[in-house]
Amino acid sequence: MSIVEIKSLPVQLNDLLKVFPANAGSEEQTAVNHIDLEIKAGELVTLLGPSGCGKTTTLRMLAGFEQPTDGAIVIGNENVTNLPANKRDTGMVFQSYALFPHLTVYENIAYGLKIKGLKRNEVNKKVKSVIELMQLDELIDRQPSHLSGGQQQRVAVARAVVTEPKVLLFDEPLSNLDAKLRVYMREELRKIQQNLNITSLYVTHDQTEAMAISDKVVIMNNGNIEQVGTPTEIYKKPISQFVANFMGKANFLKATVKSIDNGIITLDFEGYTMHVDNKDDHNFKRDNIVHCMARPEFWYVNENGRYQGKVLKAIYFGSFVEYEIQIGQQRITFEDYNHISNGVYKQDDQITLDIRKDTIGILPYDKNYDENNNER
Ligand SMILES: Nc1ncnc2c1ncn2[C@@H]1O[C@H](COP(=O)(O)OP(=O)(O)OP(=O)(O)O)[C@@H](O)[C@H]1O
Ligand SMILES: [Mg+2]
């Protein structure tokens, strides 16, 4: 694989703004609101967030399909903000694959190189090496309509990679595939990206996909970046309820700060004394009302445990049992992965739970995430 050579370069988005002007039926729309983002050379960074939060717009600005209202885009040392798309050396893989239906697999992959004016034997060599890399050997004479979704997606990636882009861009590339193939393909994409060591920006609204393939995840909300971190950092230490909810399931328990000392915050939660490791940057004070963020799988059954609960609902999912548990006036979701030894509880059973103090986060109280009107 020395024929296709990728230069690994860092990418910077500096104070990037995109405002779509008002038109007939719609108001002015700030799609991306002054974001800063760095993608290190060879890194795969994922933009994750709900529909309309600005993921595609960010990607399109980097590709050059959309002109920023303000801010700069730098690839390597080059400010590319005012360069047209075809001068930026980015490769894009779309959700819809966007293959040419009347061309064969081979011709689809070769197309970009021909446009660039490469000599025939150069084109041939590069296309062949990418075909080998993507394991498309047996499909080269087929047209896209005679390929499965997964195969079409491999052709789309091959077509993007063959031009040796400095940055590879993916916009929800797997969302047309069924669940099993999606899992398989995301591992394939990650392998290829790492083999080529190609700087990549990946857009998805699937949290597990983001966790599985990313070096870093960027959580976007309403045109803004809420948090950037490794999947583990974001899962374990979300900085807001929005992030916690987007990166998995979370319980938000209303509690009151009783004391703060020796790295431990002591809370009152439904009359129970709850200790939490103090890793917060919020400067909480005694008597502050807060939200404890506790993931459903971080609770565990303990006969001598602290928290007395009543089972409201139990759903058996095979690998775990999901419970809705009433503790005092609040409800929590508890996922028991240990149900083989613990047994399965049923509605109205009493249960005693515990949770480790290093698995709880503390966030400022937000009534929108109150347990009693939290739709989960
Ligand atoms: N060409 C456009 N003209 C006007 N508004 C636009 C245009 N493109 C996007 N928007 C608006 O900008 C915002 C961000 O859109 P964008 O497509 O970036 O979202 P997204 O995060 O990719 O969402 P999805 O997950 O649904 O693909 C939305 O409010 C959208 O309506
Ligand atoms: Mg989009």
CA distances from 13 to 73, 79, 85 (A): 5, 10, 16
User: Cα–Cα distance between 169 and 46 in angstroms, integer?
Assistant: 10
Per the structure, how many domains does the chain have?
Answer: 2
Last residue of a domain, one of 197, 218, 241: 241
Amino acid at 275: H
DSSP string, 221-288: ETTEEEEEE-HHHHHHS-SSHHHHHHSS--EEEEEEEEEEETTEEEEEETTEEEEEE---SS---TT-
Assess whether 26 and 52 both reside in one domain.
Answer: yes
From the CB of residue 242, how many other CB atoms can be counted at a distance below 10 Å? 19
Q: Are 88 and 82 in contact (CB under 8 A)?
A: no
Assess whether 201 and 291 both reside in one domain.
Answer: no
CA distances from 38 to 42, 200, 233, 346 (A): 12, 11, 17, 49
**Ligand 1 closest atom vs CA 59:** 18
For 166-175, what is each residue's pLDDT tens digit?
Answer: 999 999 988 8
**Residues whose beta carbon lies within 6 Å of some atom of ligand 1:** 20, 29, 31, 49, 51-57, 205
For 299-344, what is each residue's pLDDT tens digit?
Answer: 999 999 999 999 999 999 999 999 999 999 999 999 999 999 999 9
Q: Is residue 39 part of a domain?
A: yes
- Residue 321 belongs to what domain range? 249-373
pLDDT at 240 over 60: yes
For 58-70, what is each residue's pLDDT tens digit?
Answer: 999 999 999 999 9
Assess whether 223 and 361 both reside in one domain.
Answer: no
Last residue of a domain, one of 182, 206, 241: 241
For 85-133, what is each residue's pLDDT tens digit?
Answer: 989 999 999 888 889 999 999 999 999 899 888 899 999 999 998 898 8
Q: Is residue 6 part of a domain?
A: no
Q: What is the CA radius of gyration of the chain?
A: 25
Which of the four pLDDT bands, split at 50, 70 and 90, describes residue 4?
confident
User: Cα–Cα distance between 45 and 238 in angstroms, integer?
Assistant: 17
Which of 16, 17, 20, 207 best tests ligand 1's pocket when mutated (most atoms within 8 Å of CB)? 20
- Residue closest by Cα to atom 31 of ligand 1: 52
Q: Is residue 222 part of a domain?
A: yes
Assess whether 234 and 256 both reside in one domain.
Answer: no
Assess whether 228 and 300 both reside in one domain.
Answer: no
Q: Which residues surround ligand 2, an ion (CB under 5 A)?
A: 56
Assess whether 29 and 134 both reside in one domain.
Answer: yes
Could you tell me the pTM of the whole model?
Answer: 0.90
Assess whether 166 and 264 both reside in one domain.
Answer: no
